Amino acid sequence: MRIAVLDHQTEQALSHAMAGFGHECHPYTEGRMLLQALRRQTFDLLVLDWRLPDIPAVDVVKTVRNELRNRLPILFVAGQRERANAVEGLNAGADDFMTNPVQANELEARVNALLRRSYPASHEAELVFGDFHFYPQARTVKLHGAKIDLKSREYDLALFLFQNLGRMLSREHLHESVWGGTTEVQSRSLDTHVSRLRTKMGLRAESGFLLLAIYGMGYRLEAVETYPYTV
C-alpha cells in the first residue's frame, strides 16, 4: 500500500516501521508539506505524529476531511498523557490512534486492520463488480462468463482500478502500485495501458463503469447507473 507518514522526528521511526512492513512509504516532516502533496497525489493511508512543528495536527486532519474531501484512513500517534488529543483527533475525522511509545507489532496490526476495513475488496478470493468477475489467484477477469484477454500489467491495472472504485488515483499512485515504483514506466505507458483497458473491457457508460482521466492528476473509475433504452 502507498502510505504517507507525517513525522517530524529526525529518526523517522514511523516511516522506517511502515517500510519494514512492506509498504511504499512517503515521509513528510511538516504538516504543510503533506497537505501540499495531498493536493496532487493520493495515498492509501495517512499515519501522523500528533506533535508537529508548523501547524496543529488536528488542523491537518480537518483539512484532509473538510477541504480536500479525502476519505483515506488516518491513524495518529499521541503521547501517553494526551488523551484529550485522542478525542479531538477522532472527532476531527481520524479513524484510529495509538499512544507512545509505539510497539511495532501493534502498529502493524492496527495498520492492517484499517486497510482491511477501508479496502475490503483487496482481501477477497473472487471479486465481483457488476458483470465483471476477477479471479486474483488465476489472474483472470471474465465478463458474462467469457475471459477478457489482458496482459499481465493490464490485469494489474484493471484490478487496482476496480478495487479503488470511485477514488481519484494520482499518476504516481498508479505507477507505484501497478509497476512497483520502478523507473521503467513512462507517463505515456500508463496512458497506453489505460486506453487499452478502456477498449478491451469496454469501460464506458453503457457498460456500467466509466474510466475517466482527471486532467493534471490521474484517473478515476466510476460506477454508472445504466437504464434500458425505451421508445
- In Å, how far from its chain's centre is CA 221? 13
Instruction: Provide the pLDDT for residue 80.
Output: 73
Predicted TM-score (pTM) of the model is 0.77
CATH topology of domain 2-118: Rossmann fold (3.40.50)
CATH topology of domain 149-223: Arc Repressor Mutant, subunit A (1.10.10)
Give me the residue spans of the domains in the chain. 2-118, 149-223
pLDDT tens across the length of the chain (231 residues)? 899 999 887 677 888 888 888 888 999 999 999 999 999 899 999 999 888 889 999 999 999 999 988 889 999 998 877 677 788 889 999 999 998 888 999 999 999 999 888 887 666 678 899 999 998 878 899 999 899 999 999 999 999 999 999 999 999 999 999 988 654 556 678 999 999 999 999 998 888 999 999 988 999 999 997 544 443
